[in-house]
Amino acid sequence: MHVISKVDIEKFLELKKTIQVIDVRSPKEFEGGCIPGAVNIPILNNEERAAVGTHYKQAGREPAIGMALDIVQPKIHGFLSDVARIDDNENILVHCWRGGMRSARFSEYLSDNGHNVSVLVNGYKAYRNVVYDCFNKKWKLLIIGGMTGSGKTDILKHLSEKGHQVIDLEMLACHKGSSFGALGQKDQPTTEQFQNDLWEAWKDYDISKPVILEDESQAIGAVRIPDHLFAQMRSSPVMAIEMNLDHRAARLAKEYTNFPDEQLKEGVLRIRKRLGGLNAQKAVKAIESGDYLEFVKIALRYYDKAYSFGLDKRESAQVHALPVKTDDPSTNAQLVDQYFQENKMKLWKA
């Protein structure tokens, strides 16, 4: 028999840098949110877990455990086969929801068959608590704002290259936030998974230094920024990129020519009430005639108004206008960096 050890979340996070994590929760639990990089080998499938839960309520703990063991026993060989397909599987990390029966049984099977196993104390719940705790801390945030089409995401990339601590929320959310935000994106994660992925991108950042993010609504498509983090974002200094309409419209029109017209028209229809019926009709006709610049300018009437409304809700002392003369994100990132370097001592005193 090889070693089974119990590890706390701090040790687990260190070990997972080099050791494979196996999540033995049901597929439904795993799909709702998981530790990035984990492999799901469910000890009970969705239906089996539901049946055991029902039996627990009706007959009690011991009969439910007996039922679970009867279900699992014929599947042990399959578990071992799944683990055998993992590269470098002598050492394995295992967790379930709360570090209970499922991870304990699975670890025994692995240990009996030549694997050294570390089990996460308090399971996936301990990981989620770390995620919550991170975003409940007081971070020094700098928000990159600006009306739609200002190239904020590209500016973030260049700031990252300059060594700043940067988080691209839209990349993690697989959505750009607008009615057209899903175009060209993968399916969105669940909110829980988005927050896990956000923490993985954030976890090594220095809390004494600023973290730079794009200005967002709390909902980015179907996912939500953690409450406490979003509250901090709304009270943090904003560097508002001021780019003229022609530059912004041209940038967006070039981007939207890459997508099918039907998808663009669907995006227009989703904001039809906010655009107004006549403007929506004009936007659809512009798409159908290939006049993407006109379509974009119509859509921007709504998005510019919505952004200005949101900016007006912030304390004026926290909003720092940064006019730009070009739509080149490298040049504009340099301006942001220069402003930051010259004003960093007072940005968080406003």
Which two three-digit tokens encode residue 195?
């927050």
What pLDDT is recorded for position 2? 74
- Compute the 3-state secondary structure of the chain and give helix, strand, coil in percent, each to the nearest 5: 55, 15, 30
- How far is Cα 90 from Cα 104, in angstroms, rounded to an integer? 18
* Chain centre to alpha carbon of residue 244: 31
Candidate list 34, 96, 134, 174, residue with the active-site label: 96
98-123 pLDDT tens trace: 999 999 999 999 999 999 999 999 99
- How far is Cα 58 from Cα 61, in angstroms, rounded to an integer? 9
pLDDT reading at 46 higher than 60: yes
Which two three-digit tokens encode residue 165?
């601590």
State yes or no: is 134 an active-site residue: no
pLDDT reading at 206 higher than 80: yes
Band of the pLDDT at 198, cuts 50, 70, 90?
very high
Name the average pLDDT for the chain.
95
- How far is Cα 154 from Cα 326, in angstroms, rounded to an integer? 13
Give the number of residues written for the chain.
350
pLDDT reading at 40 higher than 60: yes
186 phi and psi, to 5 degrees? Answer: -70, 170
296-317 pLDDT tens trace: 999 999 999 989 988 888 888 8
- Helix/strand/coil for 218: coil
Which two three-digit tokens encode residue 34?
């998981």
- How far is Cα 42 from Cα 24, in angstroms, rounded to an integer? 4
Domains parsed from the chain with CATH numbers: 4-131 (3.40.250.10), 138-347 (3.40.50.300)
- Helix/strand/coil for 26: coil
Alpha helices in 208-291 (DSSP H): 227-235, 245-256, 261-270, 272-275, 277-288
Output 49-54 pairs: Cβ under 8 A, ≥24 positions apart: none
Alpha helices in 101-235 (DSSP H): 101-112, 123-136, 152-161, 169-173, 191-202, 227-235
Say what percent of the chain tops pLDDT 90.
Answer: 91
pLDDT reading at 3 higher than 90: no
